[in-house]
């Protein structure tokens, strides 16, 4: 039997081969791991031209139509998760590439969101860094989140989970999204607000809607302008949901107290990005889904998916 080549992409932490048992397919597949992002679409096309199977991690490497066209040998692409906005589904179908995904166990983004809120309000990481640097006295005065209002944009599975955690900290929670109803808010046990009310009254606004054509720029300059000078914005969803330029200018002009951002229009975030120069923003490198348990789950299902594809029974097909 002819052996096929499998590329594991964007394994920044070099975890893929450690957390899953790839020996289940090693009799049929030669595996190559790519630990660094590709410098350009052309570099991706050149590096992947001889691979029949690709395992992609979330949206780290985009797969537009041009890349599918440049990979004539590609037969199977498995992405972590069951939704990947960076994949051109129609192009995959046109080039007869089988697209499959993996299912989540738990979503660790909600606890990360609360962690970012705590960092914004209590400066845990900043004080830790100062202590390690030899600073004798504390510098920052925190604020209490108990009794504060959290505005949740998007009350799906993740937004609801964040709401529950916030209520456990004694926060008042209100929510809004384009299709959200008062009835849904009542089910989750949070207050319903209009978009204008949410941005004007919330002490912290957190974003939890899915990226789509409808949600592009959902949080714009006018919304940021409505926020109180003492308010914070948290985005662990997707960068294009928030007007990134408007957010940058808002923070530069200190019109709000600060922001915590885990997602960016270009990832990894360029080293010269102006966000990195601000002292009122907490930056994390898209950590929302990055846990050992999560990677073990995704990579194990990729092994399972490749084995099933060889047997003519693809699992969790996307296209």
Catalytic residue IDs: 238, 267, 286
Please tell me the total number of residues recorded for the chain in this structure: 319
Query: What angle separates helix 124-132 from helix 109-122, to the nearest 10 degrees?
Result: 70
Q: In what order do the strands lie in the sheet with 98-100?
A: 29-33, 4-8, 53-56, 76-79, 98-100
The token pair that represents 307 in the structure block: 């084995």
Q: Contact 143/120 with Cβ under 8 angstroms?
A: no
Q: Dihedral (C-alpha) 303, 304, 310, 314: value to the nearest 10 degrees?
A: -120
Rounded CA-CA distance 58/80 in Å is 5
Beta strands 191-192 and 204-207: pairing type? unpaired
Beta strands 53-56 and 4-8: pairing type? parallel
Rounded CA-CA distance 286/262 in Å is 5
Q: DSSP secondary-structure letter at 25?
A: S
Count CB-CB contacts under 10 A for residue 250: 19
Closest CA to 235 of 149, 138, 120, 124: 120
Start-to-end CA span in the chain (Å)? 27
């Amino acid at each position: 039997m002819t052996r096929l080549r499998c590329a594991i992409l964007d394994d920044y932490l070099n975890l893929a081969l450690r957390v899953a048992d790839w020996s289940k397919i090693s009799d049929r597949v030669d595996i190559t791991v790519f630990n660094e992002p590709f410098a350009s679409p052309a570099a991706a096309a050149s590096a992947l031209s001889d691979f029949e199977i690709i395992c992609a991690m979330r949206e780290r490497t985009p797969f537009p139509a041009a890349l599918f066209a440049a990979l004539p040998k590609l037969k199977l692409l498995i992405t972590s998760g069951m939704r990947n906005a960076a994949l051109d589904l129609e192009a995959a179908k046109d080039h007869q590439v089988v697209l499959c995904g993996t299912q989540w166990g738990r979503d660790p983004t909600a606890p990360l969101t609360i962690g970012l809120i705590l960092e914004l309000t209590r400066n845990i990481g900043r004080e830790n860094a100062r202590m390690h640097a030899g600073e004798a006295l504390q510098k920052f005065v925190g604020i209490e989140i108990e009794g504060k209002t959290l505005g949740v944009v998007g009350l799906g599975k993740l937004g609801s989970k964040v709401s529950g955690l916030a209520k456990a900290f004694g926060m008042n929670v209100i929510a809004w999204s384009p299709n959200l109803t008062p009835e849904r808010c009542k089910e989750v046990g949070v207050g319903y607000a209009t978009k204008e009310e949410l941005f004007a009254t919330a002490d912290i606004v957190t974003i939890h809607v899915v990226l789509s054509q409808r949600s592009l720029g959902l949080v714009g300059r006018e919304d940021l302008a409505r926020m109180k000078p003492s308010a914070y914005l948290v985005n662990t969803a997707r960068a294009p949901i928030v007007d990134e330029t408007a957010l940058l200018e808002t923070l530069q002009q200190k019109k709000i107290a600060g922001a915590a951002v885990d997602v960016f229009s270009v990832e990894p975030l360029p080293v010269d990005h102006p966000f990195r120069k601000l002292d009122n923003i907490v930056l994390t490198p898209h950590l929302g889904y990055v846990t050992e348990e999560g990677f073990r789950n995704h990579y194990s299902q990729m092994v399972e998916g490749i084995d099933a594809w060889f047997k003519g029974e693809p699992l969790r097909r996307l296209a």
